């Protein structure tokens, strides 16, 4: 939410002048009924959106893609949430998927090294990988290779 706050100069200025007010605005979820928590249940989010024509839901592209018959993606700054726009980074509110591994655990948790190796394998996260079939939009090849190298080297982020 902080990225959105910083898009408004008067809110970004609060960070310097009134950090408490800034945190109140940018680090809390509204509680006046304008925001409804639906948890991790994407099906419930779809149902709530269908029930309220003015509602907006937030979830991954794969769920939008799988429900395109009943959902319409939000156009941001004239850019539709398409596979291509997300892949090339032009859809402004898309971001890569992150997951974190504690380096100290890699050597002691059985299967952790193998899990990491599988995740960065072309058959998993490549353009034709099985994660793509599940809705993951692959990074461009050069970026995938940089990330893979960081994973192989267990470099901290």
Q: How many Cα atoms sit within 13 Å of 125 on the Cβ side?
A: 19
In a domain, 43, yes or no: yes
Containing structural domain, residue 118: 103-152
Write down the pLDDT at residue 32. 84
Query: Considering its fold, how many domains does the chain have in total?
Result: 3
Write down the pLDDT at residue 54. 86
In a domain, 48, yes or no: yes
In a domain, 157, yes or no: no
CA-nearest of 56, 134, 144, 133 to 96 is: 144
For residue 157, pLDDT beyond 80: no
Tell me, yes or no, whether 44 and 22 share the same domain: no
**DSSP labels for 88-157?**
TT-STT---------HHHHTTSTTHHHHHHHHTSHHHHSTTSHHHHTT--PPPHHHHHHHHHHHHTT---
In a domain, 84, yes or no: yes
Tell me, yes or no, whether 80 and 49 share the same domain: yes
- The mean pLDDT of 109-127, rounded to a whole number, is 95
CB burial of 122-144 (b: ≥16 within 10 Å; e: otherwise) equals: eeebbeeeebbeeebbbbeeeeb
Q: How confident is the model at residue 102 (pLDDT cuts 50, 70, 90)?
A: very high
Residue after which a domain boundary falls, among 95, 118, 134: 95
Here the CATH number for the domain that contains residue 91 is 3.40.190.10
Tell me, yes or no, whether 66 and 107 share the same domain: no
For residue 147, pLDDT beyond 80: yes
Write down the pLDDT at residue 47. 86
In a domain, 53, yes or no: yes
Question: How confident is the model over 33-91, as pLDDT tens digits?
Answer: 778 777 778 888 888 888 888 888 888 888 888 888 988 999 999 999 999 999 888 99
Tell me, yes or no, whether 87 and 41 share the same domain: yes
Tell me, yes or no, whether 11 and 51 share the same domain: no
pTM exceeding the 0.85 threshold for the entire prediction: no
Tell me, yes or no, whether 112 and 123 share the same domain: yes
């Amino acid at each position: 939410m902080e990225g959105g706050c910083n898009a408004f100069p008067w809110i970004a200025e609060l960070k310097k002048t009134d950090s408490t007010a800034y945190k109140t605005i940018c680090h809390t979820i509204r509680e006046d009924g304008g925001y409804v928590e639906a948890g991790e249940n994407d099906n419930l989010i779809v149902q709530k959106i269908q029930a309220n024509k003015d509602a907006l839901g937030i979830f991954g592209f794969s769920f939008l893609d799988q429900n395109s018959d009943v959902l319409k993606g939000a156009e941001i700054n004239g850019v539709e949430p398409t596979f291509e726009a997300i892949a090339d980074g032009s859809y402004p509110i898309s971001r890569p998927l992150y997951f974190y591994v504690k380096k100290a655990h890699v050597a002691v948790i059985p299967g952790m090294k193998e899990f990491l190796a599988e995740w960065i394998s072309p058959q998993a996260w490549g353009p034709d990988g099985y994660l793509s079939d599940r809705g993951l939009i692959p990074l461009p090849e050069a970026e995938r290779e940089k990330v893979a190298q960081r994973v192989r080297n267990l470099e901290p982020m």
